[in-house]
C-alpha cells in the first residue's frame, strides 16, 4: 500500500514538473479516447497538435486565441493568489465587449484616433462594473464570490443575447441577432500584416511583465499575497482583506472587459450572441497550469490556445466535434491537480519494519515538536 | 386567470423544482460531511447525457435513470480520488469537474442531438390520483417526482435521527475530532460524495428524460450552480432546501408564463430572474453570520489526511 | 522491571515502543508500566514524545516496533475503537469536540461501538445524569458546544470517558486551561476514580501537579525514557533536571521591590475599554483600564477565553474601538488616542505586538523569513520605499534577527512553516523587539516553546524593559508571569482585577484573582 507523506517544505522541482506530467498524461488519455472513438490516432494527433503550428496563419491564430487567455489568466492568477475566487471572468469579458461595442457603434460617424481608446476605456469600465458586484457583496455582506460571479456570467450572456436583438441590433441586418460591423476607427489594429493577430497580444505580453513586477517587488503585490495566504496575518500587518478583494476584482474585471472589447473590435468585428468559446473559464485552467505565475501563465495560455486551434483543425480534417477541446482542457486540469499532490507530499510504500535510527538531530527534534503540536 | 391555469402553473413549478431538489439534497449531504463539490453542474450534465443515451439504446427510461445515477457516481468518484485521495483543492477540482463534464457530455452527446423520445411515463397512484386538484398535482406524476417528495424527509431523518447521520455530521464539523474517535473520515466523505454524485446524476436524468425529453448541449443552464446556492440559502437544512427549490422553480417558470400574464419584458431579461434571485437570497443569508455559524459544517472545503 | 508481564496488578505494559515520522524518531524504545488504580505521570517537555506515545496507546498512531500488553495479554490497538473496547479512554489536550453539535450528541457519538446505539436516547440521558452527579460534573445536555466555556467542554470529555467505565483514563495536559481552583476539583475526581480502581495516565510538564497527584512518573526526553521515579520522594528541581537534562536555568530578575517604586511615567494607557461579544451573547471586555509604565513589565494573568484575545486585537489594531481615547500612547509631545488607528499607524507611533498564534497570525506560514520580516517592519525599518520592496534590506533585517536571537533555520529564505515552534517564536519576538518599540504587547510569549528558547525570549523582554520600553505580557503561565513581571493583573470574564506587585503574589493568590475573586488585603494594590 502506498501512503502520502507531507514534505517538510513544498518541492520546487514538482512545481515545474507537475504541468509537464499532466500534459503527458493528458496526451495519453487523449490517445485512448481517440482509439475508443475509432479515430485514427496518428492523424488525430497531427491535426490537433502539429498542423495548427505549421502555417503563418496558424501561428497568428495561436496568438489571437492566446491573447484573451493570457490577459485573463494573468489577472486571475493574481486573484487566486489573493484568495479571491473570481470565477466570473467570462461575464466580465462579455460586459466589456457590450460596453465597448456600445461606444464604438454610437460613434459610427466619427473617424478619429480617440474612438478606439474610448472603446477600450468603456470595455474596462464594463468589466469592472460587473466585477464590482461580487466584490461589493463579498465585502459588505460576506457573500461567497464564487456563486455570485458565476451567476452574473449567466446574466451577462442573456444581456448580450438581448443587446443583439435589442438596443445594439444592426438596423439593416435583416433582423439577424447581431450588431452592425465596426467602422474603421473602431477596429483594433493588426500587429502582424495579413493575419488577424491584433494589439491584444501585445497588451497581453505587457501585462505579463507588469504583473510580474507588481507581484514580486511592490508592497501592493506583497499585501495581496499575504491576505491570500494568511488573512489573519494580513490583518495583523495592517493589510485589509476587503481592500485585496476590491483591488483584485476590479483589476481582473477590467482586464477581462478589455479582452472582451479586443475580441469584438478585433477578430469578430461586431457583436454576436456568442462571442467567446469560454475564454473566461479556460483562463482559470490557464492560471492553474501556469502555476499562478505570470510567466507560467504565458506558456499555459499558448498551450490552451493550441487546444482551441487543434479542436477546430480536428473538426475540419477529421470531423471530430469541437467539444474535444473541452475534454482535453478538463483532463489537463484534472491531471495537473493530481500531479500537484507531489508538490506537498511524497508517495512512499507503507513499511512496518522499524526505522534505522542513529540519534535525534536538531531538525529531527523539531519535527517531533511540530508533529506533537500539529498532528491530529 | 382561471383555476385550470393556476393548476398548470403549479404543475410546471413542480417540474422546474424537481431537478433542483435532487441536486441540492445531494450536495447538502456532501457539504454536511465537510466536502464542497462545485462540480454539481458537470455531474448533472453527465447524468443527463447518459440517461438519455440509455433511453435511446434500450427504450427504457428506468434504465436511463439508473445510468444517470451511475454517471453521477462516476464523476463524483473522480472528484473523490482527487480531493480525498490526493488532497487536491476542492474548489479547483470542483471547477475542473464542471469544465470536464461540459466538454465530455458535449462530445458524447453529439449523436443524440435532435433525437426525440417520449420520456418518462406518468404513474398515477390508484385512488389518490382521483382526488380533486391534489390528485392531478401530486399523484399523477412520474417516479422521479414521487422520489423527490420522499428523498428530502428521508435525508432529514437520516441526518438528525440516526446514528450514521450523527456520524456524518460530526465528520463535517471537525474531521480531527472525528478521526480521534476512530471514525474513518475519508470513508464517510467518500460515501457522501458518491451519494451527492448519484443525486446530481438523477437530477440530470430528470432534465433529459422528463423536463424536456431530449439532449441539448449544456442543457442544465446553471441549475447545478443554483443547487449549490440553494444549500447555502437553506443554511444546510433539508426542509428549507425543499422550500427554496420550489421558490426557485416558481421564479424560473415566470418567464414561461410571463407572456401569458401580460408581462411585456423581453424573454432574455426574464430568463435572468433565477440567477438574479440566487444572488439576492445569497446576500440575504450571508448577512446573518450567526445563522451561518450555527448551521454550516465547520470543516467544509478543508482537506483531511490522517498523518499516520 | 520489564519481565512483569504476568503480574496481575499490571494493567498496561509497553515494551520497546518506537515510532518514527519522516525525518525524525518520536519514540525510541520506550517502556511504560501502569498498574490498576495508579495515577501515573508521563512527564516531559514539548517535543519529548509524550503525545506520540499516548496516541499509540489510544490507537490513533501505530508503533513501528515494540509490544503492548493489556492485562498480561499481547494486543494490537489499530484504532481508537479497539482502545475503547479494551477500556482505554482519553481526554485530549485540545478537545476533540464537535462545536456545532449539542452536548448529548457529542457524548453519544463518543460512545459509538461500545455497546451504545450512538444515538442521543433517553436512556443515555439517565446514565449521563448518574455519572455527572456522582463525580460532581454538571452538564447542560442540549446546548450546542460552541456556546460553552473551556471548563464545561472539559467536563463533557471527562463524562464521555467515564460513561465507558474505563480501566485506563488517559489525560493529556488537562489543567492547562483551568484555574487553580478548577484544578483542585479535577484532582478530587481523579483521586476518587483511582480509589475505585481506575488507572490514570496523566500527561503534564507541571511538576507541582504531578507531585501532588501522581504515585509514579515516567520521564521522557528527546523521544527516550530517561527515568521512572516516585514523584512524592522527588523535588521539583530533581524532576525538572530529569526532564530537561540539565539544571534548569533560573532568570535573575529582581522584582522584589518593584511596584513600590514607580519605574517611569506611563507609556500605554487603556481607559474604560468595553467590547461586546461577537456572538452578541454578552460582553467580551468590560471597563478595562490599566497603565503600562516605561521600564516595567506588566503581566496579565487569566484562563484562556476570558477576554485576552479581544484585548490583544484591540491593542494591535485588528479591531478598532470607539472612542479613540480608549487606548492612548504617551509621548514626549503629549497624548495620542490610537484606538481608531490601523496596525501600521500604531507601529509607526511605537507600539509593536506579538500575538499568541505564530503560524498564520504572527507569521505567514508559506512565506520565507525575509518576507515575514517585511510583514510588520516595512515602515519602521524602511524596508520599502514609495511602495516598492527592498529585498536586500529585508534579507539583511531577517539575518540580523536570526543571528541575534539564535534562530535555527536554513537561512532567511526558509519558510516560516519550516521552523520549529521555539525558533519561529524567537524570530517573531526578535522582529518586534529589533524595531525598538516604545511599547511592546506580547501574548503567551513562550507557549509551546522549549526551555532554551523560553529563556532567550524572557531575557529579551527583560532587556527591552530595562532599556526603557513599556512591556505588556498576557500569559497563562503563572510561573512565567511571576518570574518576569513587575506588576500583575488578572482578567476574568472580561473584567480586570486590581493590580498587584508581582513580589506580593504567588500561584494560589493569582489563582483566586483568575477565578474572579478578590484578595483580602487590598493594601498591596498599586
In a domain, C473, yes or no: yes
Q: Give C112's contacts in chain B (Cβ within 8 Å).
A: 163, 167, 181, 183
How far is Cα C338 from Cα B91, in angstroms, rounded to an integer?
40
Please tell me whether residues C43 and C110 are part of one structural domain: yes
Residues C218, C225 contacting (CB under 8 angstroms): yes
Task: Name the band, by pLDDT with cuts 50, 70 and 90, for residue A361.
Answer: very low
pLDDT at C278: 59
pLDDT at B252: 83
Name the residue with higher pLDDT: A373 or C397.
C397
**C-alpha distances in Å from residue C354, one per residue of C163, C324, C368, C418:** 42, 22, 18, 19
How far is Cα C468 from Cα C466, in angstroms, rounded to an integer?
5
- Judged by CB atoms closer than 8 Å, whether chains meet at C360 and A232 is answered as yes
Residues B148, B134 contacting (CB under 8 angstroms): no
Does A65 have pLDDT greater than 90?
Answer: yes
E-strand ranges in chain A read 2-6, 345-349
Please tell me whether residues C226 and C312 are part of one structural domain: no
- Judged by CB atoms closer than 8 Å, whether chains meet at C108 and B166 is answered as yes
State pLDDT tens for residues C87-116: 999 887 666 788 888 999 999 988 775 555
- Judged by CB atoms closer than 8 Å, whether chains meet at C367 and A370 is answered as no
pLDDT at C79: 83
Among the ranges given (A201-215, B10-24, B128-142, B174-188), the one the predictor scored with the smallest mean pLDDT: B128-142
- Helix (H) / strand (E) containing C157: helix C150-162
pLDDT at C523: 47
- Judged by CB atoms closer than 8 Å, whether chains meet at B103 and A327 is answered as yes
pLDDT at C433: 95
Q: Give C79's contacts in chain B (Cβ within 8 Å).
A: 182
pLDDT at A363: 35
- Judged by CB atoms closer than 8 Å, whether chains meet at C343 and A236 is answered as yes
How far is Cα C198 from Cα C168, in angstroms, rounded to an integer?
6
> Which of B24, B92, B271 would best serve as a mutation to test chain A binding (most A beta carbons within 10 A)?
B92
Task: Name the band, by pLDDT with cuts 50, 70 and 90, for residue C417.
Answer: confident
Does C182 have pLDDT greater than 80?
Answer: no
Cα-atom radius of gyration of chain A, to the nearest Å? 23
**C-alpha distances in Å from residue A94, one per residue of A68, A124, A146, A213, B290:** 12, 11, 18, 28, 36
Among the ranges given (A29-43, A85-99, C397-411), the one the predictor scored with the smallest mean pLDDT: A29-43
All three cell numbers of A46, joined, read 497531427
pTM over 0.90: no
Residue C346 sits in a domain whose CATH number is 3.40.50.300
Does A359 have pLDDT greater than 80?
Answer: no
- Helix (H) / strand (E) containing C284: strand C283-293
Nearest chain A residue to B272 by CA distance is: A155
Does C53 have pLDDT greater than 60?
Answer: yes
> Which of A238, A241, A345, A348 would best serve as a mutation to test chain C binding (most C beta carbons within 10 A)?
A238
Task: Name the band, by pLDDT with cuts 50, 70 and 90, for residue C123.
Answer: confident
Please tell me whether residues C398 and C501 are part of one structural domain: no
Name the residue with higher pLDDT: B69 or C204.
B69
Please tell me whether residues C267 and C237 are part of one structural domain: no
- Judged by CB atoms closer than 8 Å, whether chains meet at C420 and A366 is answered as yes
In a domain, A147, yes or no: yes
In a domain, A29, yes or no: no
Confirm or reject contact between A365 and chain C (CB < 8 A): yes
Residue the block writes with cell 506587585: C501
How far is Cα C441 from Cα C432, in angstroms, rounded to an integer?
10
Among the ranges given (A66-75, C57-66, C348-357, C442-451), the one the predictor scored with the smallest mean pLDDT: C442-451
How far is Cα C308 from Cα C90, in angstroms, rounded to an integer?
29
Rounded to a whole number of angstroms, the distance from the CA of A3 to the nearest CA of chain C is: 12
In a domain, C66, yes or no: yes
Task: Name the band, by pLDDT with cuts 50, 70 and 90, for residue A320.
Answer: confident
State pLDDT tens for residues A22-50: 999 998 998 888 888 788 888 888 888 88
Taking the CA atoms of A234, A236, A239 and A240 in sequence, report the sign of the dihedral they define: positive
Peptide bond into C199 cis (omega under 30): no
All three cell numbers of B103, joined, read 466538454
Please tell me whether residues C370 and C497 are part of one structural domain: no
pLDDT at A351: 53
Q: Domain count for chain A, please give it.
A: 1
With a pLDDT cut of 70, the percent of chain A lying above it is 92
Task: Name the band, by pLDDT with cuts 50, 70 and 90, for residue A352.
Answer: very low
Peptide bond into A357 cis (omega under 30): no
State pLDDT tens for residues C59-83: 888 899 999 999 989 999 988 888 8
Residues C363, C372 contacting (CB under 8 angstroms): yes
Does C512 have pLDDT greater than 60?
Answer: yes
**How many residues in total does chain C contain?**
526
Range of the domain at A160: 68-296
Nearest chain A residue to C373 by CA distance is: A237
pLDDT at C34: 94
pLDDT at A370: 38
Residues C377, C398 contacting (CB under 8 angstroms): no
> Which of A233, A234, A241, A359 would best serve as a mutation to test chain C binding (most C beta carbons within 10 A)?
A233
Nearest chain C residue to A234 by CA distance is: C361
pLDDT at C23: 56
- Judged by CB atoms closer than 8 Å, whether chains meet at C117 and B163 is answered as yes
In a domain, A344, yes or no: no
Q: Give A220's contacts in chain C (Cβ within 8 Å).
A: 387
Confirm or reject contact between B212 and chain C (CB < 8 A): no
- Judged by CB atoms closer than 8 Å, whether chains meet at C80 and B180 is answered as yes
Does C217 have pLDDT greater than 70?
Answer: yes
How far is Cα A23 from Cα A333, in angstroms, rounded to an integer?
9
Rounded to a whole number of angstroms, the distance from the CA of C215 to the nearest CA of chain A is: 26
pLDDT at C254: 55
- Judged by CB atoms closer than 8 Å, whether chains meet at B96 and A328 is answered as no
- Which of C202, C221, C244 is the endpoint of a domain? C244
Q: Domain count for chain C, please give it.
A: 3
pLDDT at C82: 87
Taking the CA atoms of C29, C30, C35 and C36 in sequence, report the sign of the dihedral they define: negative
C65-70 and C39-43 strand pairing: unpaired
Among the ranges given (A69-78, B260-269, C472-481), the one the predictor scored with the smallest mean pLDDT: B260-269
pLDDT at A227: 95
In a domain, A56, yes or no: no
Chains that contact A by 3+ CB pairs under 8 Å?
A: B, C
pLDDT at C138: 82
- Sequence-distant (≥ 6) Cβ neighbours of residue C73 within 8 angstroms: none
- Judged by CB atoms closer than 8 Å, whether chains meet at B107 and A141 is answered as no
How far is Cα A75 from Cα A82, in angstroms, rounded to an integer?
11
In this prediction, residues B267-280 reach a mean pLDDT of 88
Chains that contact C by 3+ CB pairs under 8 Å?
A: A, B
Q: Give A338's contacts in chain B (Cβ within 8 Å).
A: 81-82, 86, 88
All three cell numbers of C125, joined, read 440521558
Please tell me whether residues C218 and C261 are part of one structural domain: no
Domains and CATH numbers, chain B: 3-295 (1.10.3470)
Rounded to a whole number of angstroms, the distance from the CA of A343 to the nearest CA of chain C is: 13
- Judged by CB atoms closer than 8 Å, whether chains meet at A236 and C362 is answered as yes
In a domain, C459, yes or no: no
Range of the domain at C486: 251-350+439-446+468-526
pLDDT at B1: 56
How far is Cα C150 from Cα A31, in angstroms, rounded to an integer?
59
In this prediction, residues C165-189 reach a mean pLDDT of 82
- Judged by CB atoms closer than 8 Å, whether chains meet at C51 and A375 is answered as yes
Chains that contact B by 3+ CB pairs under 8 Å?
A: A, C
- How high does pLDDT run on average in chain C? 85
- Judged by CB atoms closer than 8 Å, whether chains meet at A233 and C422 is answered as no
- Judged by CB atoms closer than 8 Å, whether chains meet at C60 and B308 is answered as yes
How far is Cα B55 from Cα B212, in angstroms, rounded to an integer?
13
In a domain, C523, yes or no: yes
Q: What is the DSSP letter of C10?
A: E
State pLDDT tens for residues A170-218: 998 888 999 999 999 999 999 888 889 999 999 999 999 999 999 999 9
Taking the CA atoms of C389, C391, C393 and C396 in sequence, report the sign of the dihedral they define: positive
pLDDT at C115: 56
All three cell numbers of A56, joined, read 503563418
State pLDDT tens for residues B173-216: 999 888 877 789 999 999 999 999 999 999 999 999 999 889 99
- How high does pLDDT run on average in chain B? 89
Q: Give B89's contacts in chain A (Cβ within 8 Å).
A: 337
Amino acid at each position: 500500500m502506498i501512503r502520502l507523506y507531507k514534505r517538510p517544505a513544498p518541492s520546487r522541482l514538482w512545481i515545474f514538473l507537475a504541468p509537464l506530467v499532466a500534459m503527458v498524461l493528458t496526451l495519453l488519455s487523449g490517445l485512448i479516447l481517440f482509439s475508443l472513438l475509432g479515430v485514427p490516432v496518428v492523424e488525430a494527433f497531427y491535426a490537433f497538435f502539429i498542423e495548427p503550428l505549421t502555417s503563418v496563419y496558424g501561428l497568428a491564430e495561436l496568438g489571437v486565441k492566446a491573447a484573451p487567455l493570457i490577459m485573463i489568466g494573468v489577472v486571475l492568477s493574481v486573484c487566486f493568489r489573493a484568495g479571491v475566487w473570481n470565477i466570473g471572468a467570462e461575464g466580465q469579458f462579455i460586459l466589456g465587449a457590450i460596453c465597448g461595442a456600445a461606444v464604438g457603434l454610437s460613434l459610427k460617424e466619427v473617424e478619429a484616433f480617440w474612438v478606439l481608446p474610448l472603446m477600450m476605456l468603456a470595455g474596462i469600465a464594463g468589466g469592472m462594473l460587473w466585477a464590482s458586484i461580487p466584490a461589493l457583496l463579498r465585502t459588505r455582506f460576506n457573500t461567497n464570490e464564487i456563486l455570485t460571479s458565476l451567476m452574473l456570467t449567466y446574466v451577462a450572456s442573456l444581456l448580450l443575447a438581448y443587446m443583439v436583438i435589442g438596443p445594439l441590433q444592426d438596423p439593416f441586418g435583416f433582423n439577424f441577432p447581431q450588431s452592425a460591423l465596426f467602422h474603421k476607427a473602431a477596429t483594433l489594429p493588426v500587429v502582424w500584416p495579413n493575419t488577424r493577430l491584433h494589439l491584444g497580444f501585445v497588451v497581453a505580453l505587457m501585462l505579463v511583465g507588469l504583473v510580474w513586477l507588481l507581484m514580486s517587488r511592490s508592497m501592493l503585490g506583497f499585501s495581496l499575497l499575504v491576505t491570500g495566504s494568511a488573512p489573519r496575518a494580513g490583518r495583523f500587518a495592517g493589510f485589509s482583506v476587503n481592500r485585496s478583494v476590491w483591488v483584485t476584482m476590479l483589476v481582473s474585471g477590467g482586464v477581462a472587459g478589455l479582452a472582451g472589447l479586443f475580441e469584438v473590435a478585433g477578430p469578430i468585428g461586431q457583436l454576436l450572441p456568442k462571442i467567446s468559446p469560454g475564454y473566461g473559464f479556460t483562463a482559470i485552467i490557464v492560471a492553474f497550469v501556469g502555476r499562478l505565475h505570470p510567466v507560467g501563465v504565458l506558456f499555459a495560455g499558448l498551450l490552451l490556445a493550441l487546444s482551441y486551434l487543434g479542436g477546430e483543425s480536428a473538426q475540419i480534417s477529421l470531423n471530430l466535434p469541437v467539444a474535444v477541446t473541452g475534454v482535453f482542457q478538463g483532463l489537463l486540469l484534472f491531471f495537473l491537480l493530481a500531479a500537484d499532490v507531489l508538490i506537498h507530499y511524497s508517495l512512499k510504500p507503507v513499511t512496518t519494519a522499524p526505522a534505522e535510527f542513529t540519534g535525534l538531530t536538531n531538525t529531527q527534534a523539531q519535527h517531533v515538536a511540530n508533529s506533537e503540536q500539529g498532528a491530529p | 386567470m382561471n383555476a385550470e391555469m393556476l393548476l398548470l402553473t403549479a404543475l410546471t413549478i413542480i417540474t422546474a423544482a424537481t431537478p433542483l431538489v435532487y441536486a441540492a439534497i445531494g450536495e447538502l449531504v456532501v457539504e454536511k460531511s465537510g466536502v464542497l463539490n462545485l462540480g454539481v453542474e458537470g455531474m448533472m450534465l453527465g447524468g443527463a447525457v447518459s440517461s438519455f443515451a440509455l433511453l435511446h439504446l434500450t427504450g427504457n427510461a428506468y434504465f436511463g435513470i439508473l445510468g444517470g445515477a451511475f454517471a453521477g457516481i462516476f464523476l463524483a468518484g473522480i472528484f473523490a480520488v482527487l480531493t480525498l485521495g490526493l488532497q487536491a483543492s476542492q474548489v479547483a477540482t470542483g471547477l475542473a469537474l464542471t469544465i470536464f463534464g461540459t466538454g465530455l457530455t458535449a462530445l458524447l452527446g453529439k449523436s443524440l442531438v435532435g433525437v426525440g423520445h417520449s420520456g418518462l411515463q406518468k404513474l398515477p397512484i390508484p385512488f389518490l390520483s382521483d382526488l380533486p386538484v391534489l390528485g392531478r398535482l401530486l399523484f399523477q406524476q412520474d417516479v422521479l417526482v414521487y422520489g423527490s417528495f420522499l428523498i428530502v424527509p428521508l435525508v432529514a431523518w437520516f441526518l438528525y435521527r440516526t446514528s450514521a447521520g450523527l456520524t456524518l455530521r460530526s465528520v463535517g464539523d471537525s474531521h480531527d475530532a472525528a478521526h480521534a474517535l476512530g471514525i474513518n473520515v475519508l470513508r464517510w466523505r467518500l460515501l457522501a460524495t458518491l451519494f451527492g454524485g448519484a443525486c446530481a446524476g438523477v437530477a440530470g436524468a430528470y432534465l433529459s428524460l422528463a423536463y424536456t425529453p431530449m439532449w441539448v448541449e449544456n442543457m442544465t443552464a446553471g441549475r447545478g450552480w443554483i443547487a449549490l446556492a440553494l444549500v447555502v440559502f437553506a443554511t444546510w437544512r433539508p426542509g428549507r432546501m425543499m422550500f427554496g427549490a420550489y421558490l426557485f422553480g416558481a421564479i424560473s417558470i415566470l418567464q414561461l408564463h410571463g407572456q401569458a400574464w401580460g408581462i411585456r419584458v423581453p424573454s432574455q431579461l426574464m430568463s435572468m430572474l433565477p440567477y438574479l434571485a440566487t444572488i439576492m437570497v445569497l446576500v440575504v443569508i450571508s448577512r446573518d453570520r450567526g445563522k451561518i455559524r450555527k448551521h454550516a459544517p465547520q470543516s467544509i472545503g478543508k482537506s483531511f489526511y490522517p498523518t499516520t | 522491571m520489564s519481565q512483569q508481564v504476568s503480574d496481575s496488578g499490571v494493567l498496561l505494559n509497553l515494551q520497546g515502543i518506537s515510532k518514527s515520522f519522516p525525518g525524525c524518531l518520536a519514540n525510541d524504545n520506550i517502556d511504560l508500566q501502569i498498574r490498576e488504580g495508579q495515577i501515573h505521570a508521563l512527564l516531559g517537555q514539548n517535543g519529548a514524545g509524550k503525545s506520540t506515545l499516548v496516541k499509540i496507546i489510544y490507537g490513533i498512531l501505530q508503533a513501528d516496533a515494540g509490544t503492548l500488553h493489556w492485562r498480561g495479554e499481547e494486543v494490537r490497538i489499530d484504532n481508537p475503537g479497539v482502545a475503547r473496547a479494551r477500556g482505554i479512554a482519553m481526554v485530549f489536550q485540545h478537545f476533540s469536540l464537535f462545536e456545532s453539535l449539542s452536548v448529548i450528541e457529542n457524548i453519544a457519538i463518543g460512545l459509538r461501538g461500545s455497546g451504545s446505539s450512538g444515538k442521543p436516547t433517553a436512556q443515555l440521558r439517565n446514565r449521563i445524569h448518574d455519572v455527572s452527579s456522582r463525580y460532581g460534573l454538571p452538564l447542560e445536555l442540549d446546548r450546542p458546544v460552541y456556546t460553552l466555556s473551556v471548563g464545561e467542554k472539559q467536563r463533557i470529555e471527562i463524562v464521555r470517558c467515564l460513561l465507558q467505565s474505563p480501566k485506563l483514563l488517559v489525560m493529556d495536559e488537562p489543567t492547562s486551561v483551568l484555574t487553580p481552583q478548577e484544578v483542585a476539583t479535577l484532582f478530587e475526581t481523579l483521586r476518587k476514580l483511582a480509589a475505585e480502581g481506575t488507572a490514570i495516565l496523566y500527561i503534564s510538564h507541571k511538576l507541582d501537579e504531578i507531585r501532588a497527584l501522581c504515585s509514579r512518573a515516567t520521564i521522557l526526553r528527546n523521544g527516550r525514557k530517561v527515568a521512572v521515579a516516585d514523584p512524592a520522594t522527588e523535588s521539583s528541581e530533581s524532576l525538572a533536571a530529569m526532564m530537561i537534562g540539565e539544571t534548569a536555568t533560573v532568570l535573575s530578575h529582581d522584582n522584589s521591590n518593584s511596584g513600590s517604586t514607580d519605574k517611569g511615567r506611563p507609556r500605554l494607557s487603556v481607559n474604560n475599554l468595553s467590547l461586546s461579544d461577537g456572538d452578541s451573547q454578552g460582553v467580551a471586555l468590560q471597563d478595562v483600564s490599566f497603565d503600562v509604565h516605561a521600564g516595567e513589565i506588566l503581566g496579565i494573568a487569566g484562563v484562556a477565553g476570558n477576554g485576552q484575545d479581544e484585548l490583544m486585537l484591540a491593542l494591535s489594531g485588528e479591531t478598532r474601538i470607539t472612542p479613540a481615547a480608549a487606548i492612548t500612547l504617551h509621548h514626549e509631545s503629549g497624548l495620542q488616542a490610537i484606538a481608531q488607528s490601523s496596525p501600521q499607524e500604531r507601529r509607526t507611533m511605537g507600539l509593536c505586538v506579538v500575538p499568541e498564534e505564530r503560524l498564520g497570525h504572527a507569521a505567514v506560514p508559506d512565506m520565507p523569513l525575509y518576507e515575514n520580516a517585511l510583514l510588520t517592519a516595512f515602515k519602521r525599518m524602511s524596508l520599502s520605499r514609495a511602495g516598492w520592496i527592498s529585498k536586500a534590506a529585508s534579507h539583511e533585517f531577517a539575518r540580523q534577527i536570526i543571528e541575534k536571537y539564535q534562530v535555527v533555520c536554513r537561512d532567511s529564505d526558509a519558510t516560516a512553516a519550516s521552523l520549529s515552534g521555539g525558533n519561529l517564536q524567537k524570530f517573531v519576538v526578535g522582529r518586534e523587539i529589533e524595531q525598538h518599540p516604545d511599547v511592546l504587547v506580547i501574548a503567551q510569549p513562550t507557549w509551546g516553546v522549549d526551555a532554551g528558547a523560553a529563556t532567550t525570549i524572557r531575557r529579551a523582554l527583560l532587556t527591552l524593559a530595562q532599556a526603557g520600553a513599556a512591556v505588556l505580557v498576557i500569559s497563562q503561565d503563572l510561573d512565567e508571569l511571576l518570574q518576569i513581571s513587575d506588576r500583575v493583573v488578572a482578567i476574568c470574564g472580561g473584567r480586570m482585577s486590581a493590580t498587584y506587585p508581582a513580589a506580593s503574589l504567588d500561584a494560589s493568590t493569582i489563582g483566586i484573582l483568575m477565578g474572579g475573586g478578590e484578595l483580602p488585603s487590598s493594601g498591596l494594590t498599586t
